[in-house]
Chain A
Amino acid sequence: MDYVSPEGLRLDGRRPMEMRQLRAEIGTVAKANGSAVFEMGNTKVIAAVYGPREVQNRSQQINDQALVIMANFSTGDRMRKPKGDRRSTEISLVIRQTMEACILTHLMPRSQIGLCFNSIFTKKKHYTIFKELIDLCALSCLLASSFPISVYSRKRNISILNVSAGTRSACINAATLALADAGIPMRDIVTSCSAGYLNSTPLLDLNYIEDSAGGPDVTVGILPKLDKVTLLQMDAKLPVDIFENVMGLAIEGCKAIANYIREVLLENTKQLEYRRGL
């Protein structure tokens, strides 16, 4: 199958180094201390942050830093997964470690910060489902207070396969926004983006079809100000020189996302400040 046409356009009409459309919104879950929605094309992620607050499980309390916990990764799929589901455990672990690396946990000893996510692979016409899910999410967070939440959608057209690299990076970007919204001190913002290699072309920000093609897929998370890599994942093999190209592309993508996230955060801060008044 041709993933890049002879004219150099991808299946969805993008150029190889073009990202999907980004959209971010802060403060969507009313009951959370910080929340955000991050959208990359059709991948939509809601992130909510609860805390820092008293540790719920006393035995987990750490005396000199905050505990970062994460609810099991929840997707829009209908199946109740057994507890030891490897895929969601792995994603939770990856995201938790990435976020923990940038939070200044030593400033909030003996407390916990809870993160929960909800991702939906959505088309514009399914926006209503999304709204419904937000409400559900808020409700379940309220009830379960940052413990594993899963929202089961009634619609079948939400694909089970959407837990892709795209979701992973969207989650990290959403988490950054939500943590910044919750006023939790961080070393730097973390942004993440993926790049792949198909038809001997490096492609930025794979969409669902390209992702399921099974080619190599590099997910990178960086701290743009410190210029450091916090996350690097690849599922397949790639020659070193090509890998460098692909990774470089993903890093450039991360930087572009970082610029966008900064704009959104600054706009939000200014808005809060001028509304508050004197």
Chain B
Amino acid sequence: MGGNSFEALGFRVSSSSSLPFFLFYRKSLSTPKSSLCQVADNKDKMRGLKLPLNQTQRVRLQRAFEKLQSLSAKANSDASVTVADTIPVNYEDAFLKGHGTTDLNGELVATVCGVVERVNKLVYVRALRARYKPEVGDVVVGRVVEVAQKRWRLEINFSQDAVLMLSSMNMPDGIQRRRTALDELNMRSIFEENDIVCAEVRNFQHDGSLQLQARSQKYGKLEKGQLLIIDPYLVKKGKQHFHHLEQFGIDLILGRNGYIWIGEHVEARDSMVIDQAKSMEQSTVVEGINQAYTPLEMRQTICRIANAIRVLTSLGFNVDLNLIMETVELSSSLKIDIHDMLGSEFHVLVAEMEAERRSLTTKRKR
């Protein structure tokens, strides 16, 4: 294919040797047609979030995001890569290629979109917005999808369902013993399909499947509350994933797999119940509590916290206890109704609050 055929067709061809790079593609950003509104719309377009913003709100939100962007160290560096971008490494030094990278003709190339991280010799790409990648010891919240022989299958936002063996959890009576066939028949009395269960990642089997365990009283079935599903990259690994909010009497479990539980506080029972009679007594007490309904105020608080988390995730902010509590306090100090928390005004307020908070913390560090 030479330039001649193009010239014959009535085109001016700049270079005669190869196909002229004579292409135009228009983006809505750069078209002269696009009005100012369209440009603005593209600029502060929020990922997966469609909010009816008025002019002032849009400007405020944009300003808050610009502030956040200027504060972030990672976003300003060239650490962000997309699929098939070359990662700059010093080829003379030895390096190890980690997750999200591959070797292409001697070059190190990213296979996912994310941020390049370097730990000593290891180079890997930390993907944002992917499904959960389990690590041993993580606290996860999951939903039972199947009761199988001696095991439950749990959906935990991983690429496969996780397995919780009957033998790797504490029996409700708290006695350590061999699991009998009778226990196996009574598995549905512990967890049924669609129950929400909190557990810990135990290990990977050699075939890649995942095993969970629930060997403590803090793990187990979750009741009287709300489950929220958010992107796992927003939940940071911390020392504590179980939070008891004493002022509200609420339990908050930040599952590392992006499943968040907000529910009424349950007193953890003694791990070892020796006295049979005592345990009987206790179980009747527990039943008595079970029958009682959750008071309205408690349910409202649960909804308020849930909505605070919803706002934070839709803005794409990291979800940790501090930020959740600040958002809740902001909403209650401004006397914003629970259902108004999902409106555009509160989103703007939270974005401004977070921008302010992050600028303060970075100043303190300096």
The reply to whether the CB of A52 lies closer than 8 angstroms to some CB of chain B is yes
Contacts of A189 in B (CB 8 A): 82-84
Report yes or no: B111 in contact with A186, Cβ–Cβ below 8 A: yes
Report yes or no: B160 in contact with A111, Cβ–Cβ below 8 A: yes
Asked whether A185 and B19 contact (CB < 8 A) given A257-B25, A269-B113, the answer is no
Contacts of B158 in A (CB 8 A): 53
The reply to whether the CB of B91 lies closer than 8 angstroms to some CB of chain A is no
Report yes or no: A187 in contact with B80, Cβ–Cβ below 8 A: no
CB distance from B79 to the nearest CB of A (A): 8
Contacts of A202 in B (CB 8 A): 9
CB distance from B210 to the nearest CB of A (A): 11
> Which of A148-156, A161-169, A242-250 faces chain B?
A242-250
What's the Cα separation between A104 and B161 when bound, in Å? 20
Q: Which residues of chain B from 25 to 52 have a CB within 8 Å of any chain A CB?
A: 25-28, 31, 45, 47-48
Report yes or no: A30 in contact with B26, Cβ–Cβ below 8 A: no
CB distance from A42 to the nearest CB of B (A): 14
Q: Which residues of chain B from 53 to 86 have a CB within 8 Å of any chain A CB?
A: 65, 68-69, 71-72, 74-75, 80-85
B111-146 interface bits toward A, Cβ cutoff 8 Å, 1 = contact, 0 = none: 111110000000000011111000000000000000
Report yes or no: A260 in contact with B25, Cβ–Cβ below 8 A: yes
Report yes or no: B45 in contact with A278, Cβ–Cβ below 8 A: no
Report yes or no: B72 in contact with A54, Cβ–Cβ below 8 A: no
What's the Cα separation between A22 and B113 when bound, in Å? 21
The reply to whether the CB of B10 lies closer than 8 angstroms to some CB of chain A is yes
Asked whether A269 and B208 contact (CB < 8 A) given A28-B48, A277-B72, the answer is no
Report yes or no: A184 in contact with B317, Cβ–Cβ below 8 A: no
Report yes or no: B19 in contact with A249, Cβ–Cβ below 8 A: yes
The reply to whether the CB of B216 lies closer than 8 angstroms to some CB of chain A is no
Report yes or no: B129 in contact with A34, Cβ–Cβ below 8 A: yes
Report yes or no: B69 in contact with A274, Cβ–Cβ below 8 A: yes
What's the Cα separation between A274 and B362 when bound, in Å? 14
The reply to whether the CB of A15 lies closer than 8 angstroms to some CB of chain B is yes
> Which of A78-86, A93-101, A175-183 faces chain B?
A175-183
What's the Cα separation between A245 and B18 when bound, in Å? 11
Asked whether A276 and B160 contact (CB < 8 A) given A15-B24, A182-B129, the answer is no
Interchain CB contact (< 8 A) of A27 among B48, B83, B114: B48
Report yes or no: A185 in contact with B111, Cβ–Cβ below 8 A: yes
Interface residues on B, range: 35 or more
Asked whether A200 and B1 contact (CB < 8 A) given A180-B112, A275-B68, A276-B317, the answer is no
CB distance from A185 to the nearest CB of B (A): 4
How many residues on the A side are at the interface (Cβ–Cβ under 8 A)?
Answer: 69
What's the Cα separation between A257 and B23 when bound, in Å? 11
The reply to whether the CB of B318 lies closer than 8 angstroms to some CB of chain A is yes
The reply to whether the CB of A229 lies closer than 8 angstroms to some CB of chain B is no
Q: Which residues of chain A from 239 to 271 have a CB within 8 Å of any chain B CB?
A: 241-242, 244-245, 248-249, 252-253, 256-257, 260, 262, 265-266, 268-271
CB distance from A9 to the nearest CB of B (A): 12
Interchain CB contact (< 8 A) of B5 among A225, A226, A241: A241
Report yes or no: B318 in contact with A277, Cβ–Cβ below 8 A: yes
Interchain CB contact (< 8 A) of A187 among B47, B111, B131: B111
Asked whether A180 and B48 contact (CB < 8 A) given A21-B28, A108-B159, A269-B128, the answer is no
Report yes or no: A52 in contact with B159, Cβ–Cβ below 8 A: yes
Residue numbers of B with Cβ under 8 A of A are 1, 5-6, 9-11, 19, 21-28, 31, 45, 47-48, 65, 68-69, 71-72, 74-75, 80-85, 100, 102, 104, 109, 111-115, 127-131, 155, 158-161, 208-209, 233-234, 315-318, 354, 358
22 A-B pairs with CB atoms under 8 Å apart are A19-B25, A30-B48, A33-B131, A53-B158, A54-B161, A66-B159, A108-B159, A110-B159, A110-B209, A111-B160, A183-B127, A183-B128, A185-B100, A186-B112, A188-B84, A189-B84, A225-B84, A241-B1, A260-B25, A265-B82, A269-B128, A274-B74
* List of 8 A-B pairs having minimum Cβ-Cβ separation, nearest first: A183-B130, A274-B75, A275-B316, A274-B72, A52-B159, A27-B48, A111-B159, A185-B111
- New A-B contacts (15) at CB < 8 Å, excluding given A23-B27, A271-B47, A273-B128: A17-B23, A27-B47, A104-B102, A180-B113, A183-B113, A183-B130, A201-B9, A224-B84, A241-B1, A245-B19, A249-B19, A269-B82, A273-B75, A274-B69, A274-B75
